[in-house]
Amino acid sequence: MRGLHDVRAWLDERLPTLLREYGVPGAAWAVLYGGEVVDGAGGLLSTATRVEATVDSVFQIGSVTKLWTSTLVMQLVDEGEVELEAPVRTYLPEFRVADEAAAGRITVRQLLNHTAGFEGDIFTDTGMGDDCLEKYVANLHGVPQLFPPGEQFSYNNAGYCVLGRLVEVLRGRPYDECLREHLIGPLGLTHTAPGPYEAIMFRAAVGHVQPEPDAGYVPAPVWALARSNAPAGSTLAMRPRDLVAFARMHLEDGRAADGTQVLAPGTAARMQTREVDLPALGLMGTSWGLGFERFDTPAGTITGHDGNTIGQSAFLRMVPDAGLAVALVANGGDAVSLYRDVAGHVLGELTGVALPPLPVPPPDPRRIDAERYVGTYSAEVFDLTVSQDDDGRIWVEQVPKGVFAELGGQVERIELVHYRDDLLIPLKADRGMYMPRAFVGDDGTGHALYLHLGRAVRRANA
């Protein structure tokens, strides 16, 4: 297939230059098209050991893991063991959050499409034992409810940990064993590691982080986040070829390459169907399905997911109508710009669907009264304080706390400018991107109730 092999030749030639340009230590990629897969790699797995990346090197895929967790749940739906509209407590009677009424109403579907409404950035380390997810869910009893279940989208890591526990209970075995038995094995994957003890058997990438703003990238102090967050994306690692094998199953109506029916016919398409819209943030999808992020473009729909762990990034994009999937994994630097160049070229050469353009600040932003937006918005892992100075300039200060502070997060102060109605955007790029801030709702006094970054951060004391 000439088009696919032209893509491979271009990537083989360009990847070393792109790695240098974007300060990425190492990366690997794979493309599936027309039932054929090509892959490649470049750079270093660690700048400390100088081990080179190969096509069989495993990188953490971070929150792309959520697609694997949602697939495990949908297998149970296929088997009649789970109803999407059923309250989570049907299967996990012990499930609690601070709002008892909400806890009783939250459904499996709302966990899958990120509309459950409780605080989602909970990274409690409950140990390395097989009971870590059970303990994690038990510790959610004090987590605040940000909005009524089903009201809006708010990305929820904790919700996927609850789903992982649901899978454990109904399957009667730990989450990583469920991955092996119900996905890794049936898909015939050979370079996929549910955790660090398996990853060390391969050439495993190490994440690279900046110890302080504007500093160079160095190997991260730890390899992974807590095992208790595994269903949300803290530990799963694999080579890109294995990731596109998973994507192929979703593109081919639930069938593995050898014909094994991993999902019932129709279920894969159901998972990629629009469930809920997002604020116009530009960097995330326009809508979400049952696990899948969706980019609704004039030329067609792109589905997939992104992932970020400690210094590692992963990107999976699928164009269902073209039978195409592209996976990119990287271990530091400006991974977003690398992804844009790699995936943008692949989609441009093989499909008529282009990546949506990234948001950028207007060249001459108009001055506005930011009174509706000023104030402090608080989450489990950071506080965000929006202010407007005497010159009319708008600022947001992010102060890390909890696990973000423990991992060395720095206080950041960023200037924002008007972008669109109830949307502000940074004046300067961060790793090649400008992340808009959406201000949603009303606290009853004319001020925004939420600062939305893909997850809704509620105004403090509101």
Task: Give the separation between CA 170 and CA 244, rounded to whole angstroms.
Answer: 28
Length of the chain, please? 462
Task: Give the separation between CA 283 and CA 355, rounded to whole angstroms.
Answer: 11
- Provide Rg for the chain, Cα atoms: 21
- Calculate the alpha carbon distances from 427 to 168, 264, 363, 414, 435 in Å: 45, 47, 10, 8, 10
* DSSP secondary structure of 149-209: TTSS----HHHHHHHHHHHHHHHTS-HHHHHIIIIITTTT-SSEESSHHHHTTS-B---EE
**Spatial contact of 249 and 262, defined as CB atoms under 8 Å apart:** yes
**Spatial contact of 416 and 398, defined as CB atoms under 8 Å apart:** no
Give me the helices (H) in 61-174, please.
65-78, 100-105, 108-112, 132-138, 157-171
CB atoms within 10 A of CB 107: 20
Task: Give the separation between CA 14 and CA 12, rounded to whole angstroms.
Answer: 6
CB atoms within 10 A of CB 307: 22
Among 416, 259, 286, residue whose Cα is nearest residue 355: 286
H/E stretch holding 343 reads: helix 335-350
Judged on CB neighbours under 10 Å (0-12, 13-18, 19+), 244 is: buried
Kindly name the residue from 63, 70, 154, 228 that is annotated as catalytic: 63
Among 233, 311, 231, residue whose Cα is nearest residue 23: 311
The angle subtended at Cα 356 by Cα 413 and Cα 421, nearest 5°, is 55
Q: Is residue 63 annotated as part of the catalytic site, yes or no?
A: yes
Task: Give the separation between CA 416 and CA 367, rounded to whole angstroms.
Answer: 11
Task: Give the separation between CA 11 and CA 14, rounded to whole angstroms.
Answer: 5
- DSSP annotation of 383: E
Q: Which pair of structure tokens corresponds to residue 163? A: 């789903």
CB atoms within 10 A of CB 450: 23
Q: Which pair of structure tokens corresponds to residue 404? A: 């973000």
E-strand stretches of 210-362: 218-219, 237-238, 276-277, 287-288, 293-297, 300-308, 313-319, 324-330
Name the maximum alpha-carbon separation found in the chain.
66
Give the active site residues.
63
